[in-house]
Amino acid sequence: MFNLNEITSSSSSDFSPVPEGEYVLKFLSVELKETRSQTGKYLDFCFSIDQGQFANRRLWIKFNVINESSTAVNFALKNLKSLFQAAQIEISTFDLDDNGASLFRTIMGQDRYVNAKVTIQPENNGYKAKNDVEPYSWSPVGLVERFATPTPPWKQELRPKTPF
């Protein structure tokens, strides 16, 4: 049984933009969603900031891949290609027939990190201020963590040799 009365709500759900700067981002998810006007679809990528004061804060990038405007689609595909290159993801074609599931499996098969420049898009026409995210290069963070030994070899205890 769950007792929701014991749960305290925290005010740590801060959705304000993070300060402008460069961040290491980790891929968390990608989802194909319908546009608000229901005339197209976009890929919604979710990332988390990996290090520093804003570690674990989430950022999103949307790519409008199905739209009545060919200019919007070309812009999205160009930026999507840049993201894949930055993350060292080798994809030249992909299909959205399965709502992006195969794309998700390809991208999320292992930890992926990118360096990104984050800027703030100011409040405009009733929309709140938000972050713009521009991935620009691959980050070796995941590799370093995966292959690093916690203790350097010169500090490790020597194992006594067992006679045979």
What CATH number is given to the structural domain containing 101? 2.40.50
More confident call, 128 vs 148: 128
Instruction: Say what the pLDDT of residue 99 is.
Output: 62
Yes or no: say if 41 and 35 are a contact pair by the CB < 8 Å rule. Answer: yes
Q: How many domains does the structure of the chain reveal?
A: 1
pTM check: above 0.85? no
Instruction: Say what the pLDDT of residue 98 is.
Output: 66
Q: Is residue 33 part of a domain?
A: yes
Residue 18 C-beta-side C-alpha neighbours within 13 Å? 22
Comparing CA positions, the residue from 82, 18, 87 lying closest to residue 55 is: 18
126 is in which domain, residue-wise? 16-142
Q: Which helix (DSSP H) or strand (DSSP E) does residue 150 occupy?
A: none
Q: pLDDT at residue 82 above 80?
A: yes
Question: What mean pLDDT comes out for the span 19-31?
Answer: 89
Question: What mean pLDDT comes out for the span 83-97?
Answer: 77
Yes or no: say if 111 and 26 are a contact pair by the CB < 8 Å rule. Answer: yes
Q: Is residue 94 part of a domain?
A: yes
What rounded mean pLDDT belongs to the chain? 78
Q: Is residue 83 part of a domain?
A: yes
The whole-angstrom distance between residue 93's C-alpha and the CA centroid of its chain comes to 20
Sign of CA dihedral 80, 109, 31, 48: negative
Sole residue written with tokens 């304000």: 16
Q: Is residue 80 part of a domain?
A: yes
Instruction: Say what the pLDDT of residue 88 is.
Output: 80
Q: Is residue 11 part of a domain?
A: no
Q: Which helix (DSSP H) or strand (DSSP E) does residue 80 occupy?
A: helix 70-86
Q: Is residue 126 part of a domain?
A: yes
Instruction: Say what the pLDDT of residue 148 is.
Output: 46
| 103-140 residue pLDDT tens | 777 776 667 788 888 989 899 988 889 988 887 787 77
Backbone angles phi and psi of 148, in degrees to 5: -75, 140
Q: Is residue 32 part of a domain?
A: yes
Yes or no: say if 22 and 117 are a contact pair by the CB < 8 Å rule. Answer: yes
Q: Comparing 20-29, 50-59, 96-105, which segment has the lowest mean pLDDT?
A: 96-105
Question: What mean pLDDT comes out for the span 51-75?
Answer: 92
Instruction: Say what the pLDDT of residue 142 is.
Output: 52
Distances 42 to 47, 65, 99, 123, 138 between C-alpha atoms, Å: 16, 5, 10, 22, 23
Instruction: Say what the pLDDT of residue 108 is.
Output: 67
Q: Is residue 162 part of a domain?
A: no
Residue 108 contacts by C-beta under 8 Å, 6 or more apart in sequence? 27, 29, 30
